[in-house]
Amino acid sequence: MSRILSLLLVIIVAGCAGLFYAAPIISFADVRSSCQSQDIDALAKLIDFDTVRISLKAQLDAGDKGLAAPAPSALNDPVGATGSAFKNVADSVGKAINDMVNPNAVKAPAKPVIDVNSYLTPKAILGLTYGEAKDANRFEPSTFEGKPPSPKVAFFSLERARLTVTDEAHGTTTFTFERHGLTHWELVHIGLPTAESEALKANPAG
């Protein structure tokens, strides 16, 4: 009897561990399903829209170069922060002087205004989970052919998990989930592929 109880306990523990590990993948599938059914209430529980909106806007504004490292902190690196501030001022002054001295000089085209909210509709989010990346805001599920790509676990810890979806035309999109509760995982970041990141994956160091 004791052996049966021990075996049963092992099976229960293994099952709980497997469910815990699979929870982010289940949440990803739930996001897809909720997008397909246009279930806004479910998406609000599955996605931290404020955080995802901020991260997507920063990436879309940065373009193919990707995001730069955060500026030096005045608290942790006062010298670096001061230097960065002076550089920003110098760049602004230099640009102003150049505009006055060369008023007819060819100016760089203005960046197009990107509506980040167009990437946060159910259809666009579904497109992101299909790997459509920056084309997700133009994604039409009815025209999609083939089987949707399956997510792969790129990182997993007790509090955070990253799943990736790869599309041959667009590259790899990364979805970061954070745990809230025992088995509830919330999408907090969508990492769009960049030209540099895809080049690094194609030609890894060493």
12 part of a folded domain: no
User: How far apart are the C-alpha atoms of 193 and 134, rounded to whole Å?
Assistant: 9
The tens digit of pLDDT for each residue in 134-155 reads 999 999 998 898 899 999 999 9
b/e per residue 44-59 (b: at least 16 CB within 10 A): eebbbeebbbebbeeb
pTM for the model stands at 0.71
From 41-45, 111-115, 152-156, 170-174, the region with the lowest mean pLDDT: 111-115
- Which residues span the domain enclosing 62? 22-68+112-202
103 part of a folded domain: no
32 part of a folded domain: yes
Q: Is the pLDDT of residue 14 over 70?
A: no
144 part of a folded domain: yes
Max Cα–Cα distance, the chain, nearest Å = 92
Q: Which residues contact 154 (CB under 8 A, 6 or more apart)?
A: 162, 163, 164, 174
9 part of a folded domain: no
80 part of a folded domain: no
Number of domains composing the chain? 1
185 part of a folded domain: yes
Beta bridge partners of 162: 155, 176
The tens digit of pLDDT for each residue in 101-127 reads 666 655 555 566 689 999 999 999 999
| Cβ–Cβ under 8 Å, residues 46 and 30 | yes
User: How far apart are the C-alpha atoms of 189 and 49, rounded to whole Å?
Assistant: 9
38 part of a folded domain: yes
